[in-house]
Amino acid sequence: MSLTVNNVTGGYSRIPVLKDISFTINDGELIGLIGLNGAGKSTTIRHIMGLMEPFAGEIKLDGKSLNEAPEEYRRKIGFIPETPLLYDELTLREHIEITGMAFGVGKDEAMKRAEPLLSMFRLDGRLEWFPSDFSKGMKQKVMIVCAFIIDPSLYIIDEPFLGLDPLAIRDLINLIVEKKTQGASILMSTHVLANAERICDRFIIIDQGIIYAQGTLEELRLHFNSPGASLDDMYTRLADREGFTQ
């Protein structure tokens, strides 16, 4: 078991946003985190990453919590944020090197791992470029390269397709599937439901801080009594109501 979230309640300034949520992500499993804006997806991600402390409940990664092994816990997570976070004064090469250093990967090894990724996302030849030289989509590709040069237990990928061209989306999907096949656990938050439906093993639908439903696509269809429905169909049906209600 890679990630376990047990009865977690949490939020900001003692105001609960998440309300007693529980789920697991197994080794080699890709989970889609689905919900409207403000549903609690980002708060869930922040708690898993250790950026926020739960009011109640427990989060463990490979059997250990953040409090038990803070450095080991954080090194087990590779993160691709919705908005690229780059250092203005560092080149692409230096971003790769500093990412490697943070995760115990030497400069030479980091560059070796980065080479096929740079080629895949058409960033080779731009190693001396600064963030100001890159478009939004290229900045997102830099984040992807940096996340995939490490070897974490869990990848957290937040709205990864925003700003990417169709070729980059295809390459990212292939990379995600490859990492899953190699045994990594992946939590992906996205509104691009067609892509999620195609590659995710299970889904977690969250709204107003609670898990409304979770399971495979077929299990969601049973839950909503919607045989043959797509993920988009079910999501739209729920979104057309005044929130997700049970």
Q: What percent of the chain shows pLDDT beyond 70? A: 97
Question: Which domains does the chain show, CATH number per domain?
Answer: 1-27+47-74 (3.40.50.300), 76-190 (3.40.50.300), 202-246 (no CATH)
Cα dist. 140→78, 151, 162, 198, 214 in Å?
A: 14, 19, 8, 22, 29
Q: Is the pTM of this model over 0.85?
A: yes
Residue with tokens 């096949």: 181
Closest to 24 (Cα-Cα) out of 48, 41, 46:
48
Confirm if 152 and 76 have CB atoms less than 8 A apart. Answer: yes
Confirm if 221 and 234 have CB atoms less than 8 A apart. Answer: yes
Phi, psi of 223 (to 5 degrees): -60, -40
Confirm if 57 and 9 have CB atoms less than 8 A apart. Answer: yes
pLDDT tens for each residue of 131-168: 999 999 999 999 999 999 998 999 999 998 888 999 99
Q: What percent of the chain shows pLDDT beyond 90? A: 82
pLDDT tens for each residue of 166-204: 999 999 999 999 999 999 999 999 989 999 999 999 999
pLDDT tens for each residue of 68-103: 999 999 999 999 998 899 999 999 999 999 999 999
Closest to 216 (Cα-Cα) out of 196, 195, 239:
196
Residue 113 has pLDDT above 50, yes or no: yes
The pLDDT score that the predictor gives to residue 241 is 64
